[in-house]
Structure 1
Amino acid sequence: MSPSRSPAVELTVPGPDGERTVRVSNPDKVYFPALGITKREVVDYYLSVAEPLLRAIGDRPTTLKRFVDGVDGEPFYQKRVPKGAPDWVRTATITFPSGRTADEVCPTEPAVLAWAANLGTLDFHPWPVRSADPDHPDELRIDLDPQPGTDFADAVAVAGVLRDVLTDAGLVGWPKTSGGRGVHVTVPIRPEWTFTEVRRAVITIGRRVVAELPDRATLEWWKESRGERVFLDYNQACRDRTVASAWSVRGRPKATVSTPVTWDELPEVDPDQFNLRTVPGLLAERGDPHAQLGEHAGGLEKVLGDWAEADAANGLGDLPYPPDYPKMPGEPKRVQPSRAKSPTS
């Protein structure tokens, strides 16, 4: 027998041209059993962080990662605007690598966040573009992903070197916890380069980080080659690849939040300290460390010029794309090293 449903509630949320009514169905449904966090708490959380969250994802095509049965259920990515969306939910048209298009949710006001949370959305995954120009990223994002045998402290160490490399390139990086063991660094850029060029820039930057920390950082796409190092996931820069936004609740038992921090704070924080119940208070106390992020857009001229040309002269070309991606010009074979090296009969 399924548990009884709690009565729906209607929330009044201020909007740009008047109040919105957001219906929250079954508000007492438990989304995080270990902590007893309900759907209503998730909705309230997103309303409490609406200002900085909309600064991070506002006017961006955004994939919704939905956990309709809570964190113990199977999530799915909603890449097209759900049927029955209110008319005040704006959309933006994005193009997938296959050439197909879709209208995706484009958050512009707090009510959209509450509406999405009512659908079971925990993570918001924005594209690194604005709706007016969905083919030219205005953010270069670097995902530092600790592999087995490494942890958050290793990701922090690699992030420190990454910061220096970005400075050498004339770029400014803004760190946040991933909500897990990793670190995400967002680099605002002018929207003058394609997804392919931005991905190449991430690879080029990553190669300089790996050169400084070869025993702690890697760009190896194949897991068997990564070892106990932090993977700089360059393929997160591909078209239609995203990371959870700042202020997103992650679908983990502890309800951790991907939280912006300063570079000075990063070595001292425990990512588990940032969760759905603690972050609103921290935001009220210290504000948004990334509030000025959009004011520091840089260029990729040095990275895609001198640095990439030097790599090419040294025989360093492209790296493999994800397996579901179309074969790209100049891409090496997508073959695991262990299989490529197998003796032939």
Structure 2
Amino acid sequence: MKIENHEIEISNRDKVFFPKESYTKGDLIDYYEQIAETMLPHLKDRPVTMLRFPNGIDDKQFYQKDAPDYFPNWIPRKKIKKQDGGSTAYVICNSKACLVYLANQACITPHIWLSKQDKPDFPDRMIFDLDPADEDFSRVKTAARNLRKLLKEELGLPVYLMTTGSRGLHLVVPLKPEKNFDEVREFAQQLAKYLEEQHPGELTTAIRKEKRGKKLFLDVARNAFGQTTVVPYGVRPKNGAPVATPLDWEELDKPDLHSQSYTIKNIFRRLGSKTDPWKDIEKNAVSIDPAIKKFKSLTD
């Protein structure tokens, strides 16, 4: 394939990656080529960890942080120091050609940092992962509304919503990159703990699964240096090839909505009738200092 003046040698287009539906590696490559324009703003300048499945979703998988030596020179890398010494050369995927190249490397899901390459220690996202204990998605919706009430109505923060393509929902607050990961995570932990206290029968922040029971896990652990999250419009390695999909908040009222509502086969019909609900997320980034003050007065 020739994309943006780069020749990409495509291999094994017919290899089946999603056996239940017989979706192939070629289907994955075509999806990422087609979604690139919508997806790239969410990938731009963020270190990428590749989740690779050389023989499809029913076979071996591995996470790859370092860009291999054989990756072509036109794929940008960013060396980031590890906290325990050494460094990792992460792929920075800012082009359609790079996205297609990664798909050809059997990267089904690109996972991204919550910070950008120029300020890796300072996140510009605060993320809450709503992880249900069972298949009852109505409980995830209720938790999302309760969390939005706290974040937006009580603390004045902008909040964006996304199906994960897996089990739950992500709520994301766009931030100005002023605080380091420890500061942002500590605030997220305080908010999660507060919500747990407000809804003790429904929510938990317990790290150990056996302590959660049937409660929904309010996970803020991704708010840490080097941690990653699925990129918006990323494909998940599950039957049906579901896609992590940004939502408008009113879509939460749809009775048939669930975390895998959108797939590589129906996402373009959706985008043909509405724009990306996250297209302005960068423009709405805020400082969290006012929210921290409001939260203090709320809990004093």
Give the TM bin, normalised by the shorter chain.
Answer: over 0.9
Are 1:152 and 1:183, in contact at CA under 8 Å, matched by a contact in 2? Answer: no
2:193 to 201, 207, 214: 207
Deviations 1:37-90, CA, capped at 9 Å, x for gaps: 111110110111111211111110010111111000121111011221122211
1:158 to 102, 121, 143: 143
Radius of gyration: which is bigger? 1
Are 1:176 and 1:184, in contact at CA under 8 Å, matched by a contact in 2? Answer: yes
Q: Alignment partner of 1:200: what SS?
A: helix
Deviations 1:90-138, CA, capped at 9 Å, x for gaps: 1122233424321100111001110000011111111011111111011
Q: Alignment partner of 2:245: what SS?
A: coil
Residue 295 of structure 1 corresponds to: 283
Runs of 5+ in structure 1 lacking a partner? 1-10, 314-345
Decide whether aligned partners of structure 1 residues 231 and 95 sit closer, same or farther in structure 2, where only a CA change above 3 A counts: farther
Matched residue type, 2:146:
V
* TM-score scaled by length of structure 1: 0.82
1:59 to 38, 41, 45: 45
Matched residue type, 1:183:
L
1:105 to 91, 114, 118: 91
Q: Alignment partner of 2:233: what SS?
A: coil
Are 1:204 and 1:307, in contact at CA under 8 Å, matched by a contact in 2? Answer: no
Deviations 1:15-38, CA, capped at 9 Å, x for gaps: xxxx22222101111100111111
How many Å apart are 1:231 and its aligned residue? Answer: 0.8
Deviations 1:169-196, CA, capped at 9 Å, x for gaps: 2211111101122001121000001111
In structure 2, what is the Cα distance between the partners aligned to 1:201 and 1:63?
Answer: 25
The CA RMSD measured in Å over matched residues stands at 1.8
Deviations 1:213-244, CA, capped at 9 Å, x for gaps: 22111111121211111111121112121121
Q: Alignment partner of 1:273: what SS?
A: coil
Residue 271 of structure 2 corresponds to: 283
Are 1:27 and 1:39, in contact at CA under 8 Å, matched by a contact in 2? Answer: yes
Q: Number of aligned pairs?
A: 297
In structure 2, what is the Cα distance between the partners aligned to 1:96 and 1:258?
Answer: 28
Correspondence 1:288-327 to 2 at 5 A: 288-305=276-293, 307=295
- More deviation in 66-75 or 211-220? 211-220
* TM-score scaled by length of structure 2: 0.94
Residue 226 of structure 2 corresponds to: 240
Residue 273 of structure 1 corresponds to: 261
Are 1:60 and 1:129, in contact at CA under 8 Å, matched by a contact in 2? Answer: yes
- More deviation in 270-279 or 79-88? 270-279
Residue 220 of structure 1 corresponds to: 206
How many Å apart are 1:150 and its aligned residue? Answer: 5.2
Determine what percentage of the aligned residue pairs are the same residue. Answer: 31
Higher relative contact order (CA 8 A, sep 6+): 2
Are 2:169 and 2:259, in contact at CA under 8 Å, matched by a contact in 1? Answer: no
In structure 2, what is the Cα distance between the partners aligned to 1:111 and 1:284?
Answer: 23
Deviations 1:315-339, CA, capped at 9 Å, x for gaps: xxxxxxxxxxxxxxxxxxxxxxxxx
